[in-house]
Amino acid sequence: MAEIKDNTQVWLDGEAKSITFIVTKDCQLACKYCYLVGKNSKERMSFEVAKAAVDYILGNPELFPDQSVVWDFIGGEPFMEINLIDRLCDYIKTEMYRLNHRWFNSYRFSFSTNGINYDSERVQRFIEKNHTHLSIGITIDGTRRKHDLNRIYKGSGLGSYDDVVRNIPLWLKQFPNGGTKVTISSPDIPYIKESVLHLFSLGIHEVNINVVFEDVWKEGDDELFEDQLMQLADAIIDGELYKENVCSFFREDLGKPLDISLENNNWCGAGKMLSIDAEGNFYPCTRFAAYSLRSKKPIIIGNIHDGINQNLLRPFLTLDRLTQSPTKCLSCEVASGCAWCQGENYDAAVTPTIYQRSTAICLMHKARVRANNYYWNKLYCKIELDGARPAKPSCIACSL
Amino acid sequence: MFEYLVILLDEASASFCHYEAPSLQERKPISADMLKQGIRFAMRQNLAIQFVYPHYEISDELDELVHSVDHFKIMPADIDATKADVVVVDGFNFDAAIRLQKPTTLRVKKDEFFARYHELVPLLEAVPNVNVVFTDVQHFTAADLQTYSTVISLLAEEVAKMYVGDLCPRINLLTDRLSLNEMNNCGAGATSLTMAPNGNLYACPGFYYDDPENCVGNINQRELEIPNGYLYTLASAPICRHCDAWHCKRCVWLNRKTTLEVNTPSHEQCVMAHLERNASGKMLMQIREHGSFMPECEIEEIDYLDPFDKRHLW
Ligand code: SF4
Ligand code: SF4
């Protein structure tokens, strides 16, 4: 359907190995919803540690059989370590070339940044050097009011909106398909509609938005949420914004029952990814590092000296929907698209296991499904009325 | 559903399985009062009791309580084990077990087993059942697994000869698989619980010895439910539920130690069980060369030693 903009495909989504360097645990901001409970300015990755990780990964291609790779850099704020990143990316490129590694022809460097020092000379020089292999997302929450509610500077407590928005035109010029990630927690619900519309108006055509998986929801939040999404649906459809913009809250495949045996995959990619911290420890995903966990011990699956302990990966690689989900999820009529985060499941579980699915978002998902139904029904109806699409058959038997 | 309660009669009762019990420094027997409460708990919950003895004779007071209820005794061979239902032997010192002619659990480390496996024949001839448990599964290297492959095949040949000679030896590593048609594993956390002298409940004694804080309940509770109890069942074990090494211990304590999850076995545990499975199959064929034997039993040839490697087919 040419009229409705689709999500831009994530580069080799699901096929590339994702390798994440936690280059620093420091950040200029102290966002109120930040899940990183152990942020600090001391743990910065050294080049020697990063290099040892690269040597291990590139030196053991049989352990990483994927055809492509995404080298991901996160923090804290990754661009606070631009010198390290620049040197490391040069090293990765040289080594992939020297080893004639299959990834040399299929790699990407990926960043999710708060955007504050995006226009700095060092970051810009790095972008220029690696442009064809870069994915950069800038995180902005929406309107000034909404953004500054959460994303405030450490110390001063001042909002960061102006410093981020200043860099959006430059970023979009360099990455015209750039999308942003928005995370919704309980206090953010009233601002959803205005925030998404504001991001569209800034020229960001792809807004990837989701509710946090943590158990933060209050009674009535689901109704407020549904109401906001309905208003957003009206605005997108009435204003024909769907032609150029995508908001990930609305997806056609959302809210269908799932077959217990045929649709038994795990949602989350933990274990298929690899994260490395400043000490050179390996994690199945960043969410299993100590600084991300509220109440559980970190799950360290190896380190740069001893490599990966394959036994510790087995639970991640055999996790399925059936085993970790409670009965209510297996018989749920609107199960498709109801996501989970393995790290949050682990953090919230009553025993130290990754096999207990947290369902804190249950009511929020159901609210989203209702609004999503409304969105697609309204959108199809509008397109039919506009004559851009044949009418839906009203009688199943005779297709009339 | 829980069917058994294992009661440790001392804080350092003998290990009867993969885990290590602390060595006995001083006697720390369960109190008579706690034992009484444990027995009442088991009776209320309809659980069959298995008492695990320490490496010393228990007091008359405890002995009297033990005999106040139907039970099953697991005793180390270094005490008077004439009344044992199962005798536990550490290493290849099983003269006492041979004398007693009781079902015997042999706890052994790989190197000793590799060097002395052929000495098992007299034990197999003397006792009704030998249950071998390796106490260092987590330390098996790829080379050790290779050696185990050879050794278990050689042992299977010995056992086959015994069958051909009209004996009927039973050894878990080789003969259990022949008589099973579904999983029959250790039921720790699923069908059995362990009560320690502190009155707390554990999935198996190994969990208690690792960390007494890590209990799953207490004998004062009325409902017999444990947190995330489903994870101890076969249905919640993604690898094991696709496996036909039905005799495997599927040790949840080892699982937790090696993979951090009670429902996920290590590579080593799976490969060992499959080497045993395959050796059982070859043994079956060797016996059948001499006449009909267990015609209903079939052990298919398979092309893997670790079901994890076949996960793309699930
Ligand atoms: S979990 Fe079962 S097999 Fe493992 S040590 Fe405990 S009793 Fe033995
Ligand atoms: S061999 Fe492995 S998969 Fe099979 S039952 Fe034993 S532990 Fe489970």
- As a whole number, mean pLDDT of residues B62-75 equals 98
When the pLDDT of each residue in chain A is averaged and rounded to a whole number, the result is: 91
Cis peptide bond prior to A76, omega within 30° of 0: yes
B74 has which bridge partners?
Answer: B52, B86
pLDDT one-digit tens code per residue, A106-157: 999 999 999 999 999 999 999 999 999 999 999 998 999 889 988 899 989 9
Same domain, A121 and A21: yes
Name A29's bridge partners: A153
Instruction: Please judge whether A311 and B263 are an interchain contact, meaning their C-beta atoms are less than 8 angstroms apart.
Output: no
The CATH number for B27's domain is: 3.80.30
Asked if A323's CB is within 8 angstroms of B311's CB, the reply is: no
pLDDT-derived band at A262, boundaries 50, 70, 90: confident
pLDDT digits (tens, 9 = 90+) for A24-73: 989 998 877 665 555 566 689 999 999 999 999 999 999 999 999 999 99
Q: Taking a C-beta distance cutoff of 8 angstroms, is the pair A153, A26 a contact? A: no
Q: In the prediction, which pLDDT does A2 show?
A: 43
Give the number of domains in chain A.
2
Output the CA torsion A386→A388→A394→A397 (10° steps). Answer: 170
Interface confidence (ipTM) of the complex: 0.95
CB B140 within 8 A of CB B110: yes
Q: What's the pLDDT score for residue B273?
A: 98
Residue with the nearest Cα to atom 8 of ligand 2?
Answer: B240
Do A320 and A174 form a contact (C-beta atoms < 8 A)? no
Quick check: is A164 in a domain?
yes
d(CA B183, CA A317): 23
A311 interfacial to chain B (CB closer than 8 Å) = yes
Cβ within 8 Å, pair A314-B259: yes
Domain residue limits at A78: 11-176+269-318
CB of B277 sitting under 6 A from ligand 1: no
- What is the mean pLDDT of the segment spanning B92-98? 94
My answer on whether A300 and A223 are in the same domain is no
Mutation target to probe the A interface, by most A beta carbons within 10 A, among B215, B261, B309, B313 is: B261
Query: Do A308 and A352 reside in the same domain of the chain?
Result: no
A264, A301, A318, best to mutate vs chain B, most B CBs in 10 Å: A318
Q: Do B266 and A314 touch (CB under 8 A)?
A: yes
> What are the backbone dihedrals phi and psi of residue A224, each rounded to the nearest 5 degrees, phi first?
-60, -40
B295, pLDDT greater than 90: yes
What residues contact residue A310 under an 8 Å CB cut-off, 6+ apart?
B267
Per the domain annotation, does B251 fall within a domain? Answer: no
| Residue B313 domain-assigned (yes or no) | no
Residues A196-248: pLDDT tens digits?
999 999 999 999 999 999 999 999 999 999 999 999 999 999 999 999 999 99
In a domain, A4, yes or no: no
Q: How close is the Cα of A166 to the center of ligand 1, in Å?
A: 62
Same domain, yes or no: A108 and A154: yes
Note whether B260 contacts A352, CB cutoff 8 Å: yes
Residue B44 lies in a domain: yes
Residue nearest to atom 2 of ligand 2 (CA): B270
Q: Is residue B73 part of a domain?
A: yes
A260 with A361, same domain? yes
**DSSP β-ladder status, B4-8 and B48-52:** parallel
Question: Which of residues A285, A302, A318 is at a domain's end?
Answer: A318
DSSP-derived letter for residue B219 is T
pLDDT, one tens digit per residue, over B35-66 is 999 999 999 999 999 999 999 999 999 999 99
Do A254 and A326 fall within a single domain? Answer: yes
Both A380 and A277 in one domain: the answer is no
Give residue B116's domain range: 4-184
**Residue A397 — pLDDT band, cuts 50, 70, 90?**
very low
Helix (H, G, I), strand (E, B) or coil at B216: coil
Q: Which residue of B has its CA nearest to A263?
A: B314
CA distance B62 to B42: 16
Test B260 with A319 for CB contact under 8 angstroms: no
What pLDDT does residue A400 have? 37
Nearest-angstrom CA–CA distance, A72 and A91: 15
Residue B55 belongs to some domain of the structure? yes
For position A260, what pLDDT does the model report?
Answer: 79
Residues of B with CB under 8 A from a CB of A: 227-228, 231, 236-239, 258-268, 308, 311
- The answer to whether residue A323 neighbours chain B at the CB level (below 8 Å) is yes
Closest residue of A to B260, CA-based?
A: A312
Is position B124 within any domain? yes
Q: What is the pLDDT of residue A32?
A: 73
At residue B275 the predicted structure's pLDDT band, cuts being 50, 70 and 90, is: very high
Query: Cα angle at B185 between B99 and B154, to 5 degrees?
Result: 60
Give how many domains chain B has, as a whole number: 1
Lowest mean pLDDT among A99-103, A185-189, B67-71, B229-233: A185-189
